[in-house]
Amino acid sequence: MKYIIPIIILSFLLLGCKKDDDSSTTTTTELEGTWKTACHSSADYYRIISVAVTGTTFVEKNEYHSDS
């Protein structure tokens, strides 16, 4: 029972102190790529949404089809 307060203080010290992230890098490779949704029904048509990210460019494309 007498160790509860020191354990709580120690856990705050260990979990609350975090090393600062190195924000000097500006890489965007984590998000680069192309993603497509599955064909899904939207009113009277079917739609496929594709998103492409390259560097700082974002392109969204909607494809509409009369049949799946």
Q: What is the pLDDT of residue 5?
A: 79
Reference 32, options 61, 53, 57, 58; nearest CA is: 53
Mean pLDDT to the nearest integer, 9-36: 70
Better-scored residue on pLDDT, 28 or 40: 40
CB 50 within 8 A of CB 35: yes
Q: What is the pLDDT of residue 17?
A: 59
